[in-house]
Amino acid sequence: MTTLYGWGPMFDCPSPSPYVMKTDIQLQMLDIEFDRAIADLDSVSKHKAPYVEDDGEIIEDSNFIRAHFEKKLGRSLMDGLTRQQQAQSWAFERMAEGHLAAVMAGERWMNDANFAKGPAMFFAGAPEPMRSQIIRETRDNIRETRYGSGIGRHSHAEQLQLAAWDIAAIAAQLGEQTFLFGDEPTVADASVSAVLISSATPYFDTPLTDLITQHANLVRYMKRMRESYLADGVWPELMAA
């Protein structure tokens, strides 16, 4: 039995986490039969989602989840790609997850209005007397991490310019193709589409939405991936956690 732990629809997205969406898509691409359940981050060592329980074994992090099942099944989501395409695929994954997603996170967590209508709800279960302090400390930690990684040292306009270059590169790679590397979806489509969907949500007030939706091919691509892999009603209600 296999269970994916994460979260369902929030912020007008199939999940508040692009990494949960990515793993959901990749498990489907690998034809894995699995259930979905609300994550309990205190129950796993890395304290993040997604994580998977597969026949009693816990696997954490989207990349290691994919590697686990590819090894188990004896096939890869890179099958059919040339060695050069495999290298390009990995580069696009890392750009989307490590760079564009960092800008997206800043738009959600560092913008006070966006934080109040979005990530603030993650703290609803914290005791009222301590909630404000926990929120302040969490946001301060995120701010320090962003500064340490380098992205937080840029002005807001500079961060958006970096995101625009990322988005333009993805749009150029996709072109008029159905998926990033041709007519069939492969490994990078899961992560890249998930980050695009998260970044483009109109739920938050952010220029990222327009930066993505100005590319008509990316709009079609996100719609295609959502309809193919991210169905409504498959996740339990968050309140059931």
Q: What is the mean pLDDT of residues 139-145?
A: 96
> Residue 94: what pLDDT?
97
Instruction: Tell me how far apart the alpha carbons of residues 206 and 137 are, in angstroms, rounded to a whole number.
Output: 24
Can you tell me the mean pLDDT for 48-58? 97
Is the pLDDT confidence value at 61 over 50?
A: yes
Return d(Cα 230, Cα 39) in angstroms, integer.
18
Tell me the average pLDDT across 140-162.
97
Inform me whether the pLDDT recorded for 75 exceeds 60. yes
CATH code: domain of residue 110: 1.20.1050.10
Question: What tokens appear for 62 in the block?
Answer: 């989207």
- Reference 181, options 99, 96, 97, 90; nearest CA is 90
Q: What is the pLDDT of residue 150?
A: 96
Range 51-60 contact pairs with CB under 8 angstroms and sequence separation of 24 or more: 51/5, 52/2, 52/3, 52/4, 52/5, 52/23, 52/27, 53/1, 53/2, 53/3, 53/5, 54/1, 54/2, 55/1, 55/2
Distance CA 51, CA 235 (A): 15
- Percentage of the chain lying above the pLDDT 90 cut: 96
Q: For 18-33, how does the pLDDT look when each residue is reduced to its tens digit (9 = 90+)? A: 999 999 999 999 999 9
160-198 pLDDT, tens digit each: 999 999 999 999 999 999 999 999 999 999 999 999 999
Q: Is 193 left (phi over 0), alpha (psi -120 to 50) or beta?
A: alpha
Q: Which domain holds residue 112?
A: 2-240
In which band, very low, low, confident or very high, does the pLDDT at 238 lie, cut at 50, 70 and 90? low
Does the structure show a pLDDT above 50 at 211? yes
125 has pLDDT over 90:
no
Which neighbouring-strand residues pair with 35? 3
Whether 146 has a pLDDT exceeding 90, the answer reads: yes
Residue linked to tokens 């949500």: 201
User: What pLDDT sits at residue 128?
Assistant: 85
Confidence class for position 217, pLDDT limits 50, 70, 90 = very high
Average pLDDT, the chain: 96
Is the pLDDT reported for residue 240 higher than 60? Answer: no
How many separate domains does the chain show? 1
Q: Is 39 left (phi over 0), alpha (psi -120 to 50) or beta?
A: beta
